[in-house]
Amino acid sequence: MLKYDELKEKPREFLSVTSLTDEEFQVLLPTFEKWYDLSAKPKPKPQTRKKQRASGGGRKAKLSDITDKLLFILAYQKTAPLQTWHGLQFGISQGRVNYWVHRLLPVLQKSLSALGMKPARNGEQVGESIEASEGGANLSLDAMERLLQRPVNEEKQRKKYSGKKKTHTDKNLLLVNENTKKVVYLSETVEGKMHDKKLADKSKISYPRNASLTQDTGFQGYQPKAVVVEQPKKSARCGTDGD
């Protein structure tokens, strides 16, 4: 079962699960705790009848510590697992995973916004972003796809089907500052069927002056103005001579 006190002793695994180092986790933690407390429901008024359960009795909470709550929602965001599988990692049921995701996700979003850690969502504003130019405007563009259960509706099946992944997905573009390793832009979510370059064109991303951009062959033909693009060439298919 994943616990913060145990996982923090394994820096490589901690980074893989949360996308943060323990030092970055500790920077986020106070703000997360503040917004969690502000979002808590008011306690019910004391009842006049005598308590039936002794103090300290009852089921023990699996996510009792705020550090475990933050670890839970960061790991969920990073790995996008099935709720049943995520519950197995933290020793709780799928129903409780669903509860905690809806409870903690808004808290995490508010915390990241308060710290200025959320990526831009408007592509036209990226060029003026300090984060995009930090350390030099060396940027990397990629499309990320998340697996989905196969939709029942036939039309949705076609829209969600990704030929690249050979399954049904949702897709976003990520623009990363290669110097700081921070995501500086996150596109809208689209169906997996949409081509990477088409999504890049639709996003209308502006780039800082003297920017360089690394992209893969899925963006073939994408050439923003005044940006130096580095892209590997598609390898020629090997033919057969029929022998």
Q: Kindly tell me if the per-residue pLDDT of 58 is higher than 60.
A: no
State mean pLDDT over 121-130: 92
SS3 annotation, 152-193 = CCHHHHHHHEECCCCEEEEEEEEEEECCCCEEEEECCCEECC
Q: Which helix (H) or strand (E) holds 130?
A: helix 130-133
Which pLDDT belongs to residue 16? Answer: 92
Computed over every residue of the chain, the mean pLDDT equals 87
Task: Compute how many other C-beta atoms are within 10 angstroms of the C-beta atom of residue 220.
Answer: 14
- Predicted model pTM: 0.65
Q: Which residues contact 121 (CB under 8 A, 6 or more apart)?
A: 185, 186, 187, 188
The HSE-up count of residue 151 (CA atoms within 13 Å, CB side) is 15
Q: Which residue has the higher pLDDT, 52 or 221?
A: 221
β-sheet bridge partners, residue 171: 145, 190
Q: Kindly tell me if the per-residue pLDDT of 202 is higher than 50.
A: yes
Which pLDDT belongs to residue 242? Answer: 47
Distances from the Cα of 202 to the Cαs of 27, 42, 138, 173, 205, in angstroms? 35, 44, 22, 11, 8
Q: Kindly tell me if the per-residue pLDDT of 243 is higher than 50.
A: no
Which pLDDT belongs to residue 19? Answer: 87
Which pLDDT belongs to residue 158? Answer: 83
Q: Which residue has the higher pLDDT, 182 or 23?
A: 23
Residue 81 CA to residue 102 CA, distance in Å, equals 15
Strand 167-177 vs strand 182-186: parallel, antiparallel, or unpaired? Answer: antiparallel
% the chain with pLDDT above 90: 60
% the chain with pLDDT above 70: 88
Structure tokens that stand for 242 in this block:
């029929």
The HSE-up count of residue 45 (CA atoms within 13 Å, CB side) is 1
Q: Kindly tell me if the per-residue pLDDT of 123 is higher than 80.
A: yes
| Contact (Cβ atoms closer than 8 angstroms) between residue 147 and residue 167 | yes
Q: Kindly tell me if the per-residue pLDDT of 28 is higher than 70.
A: yes
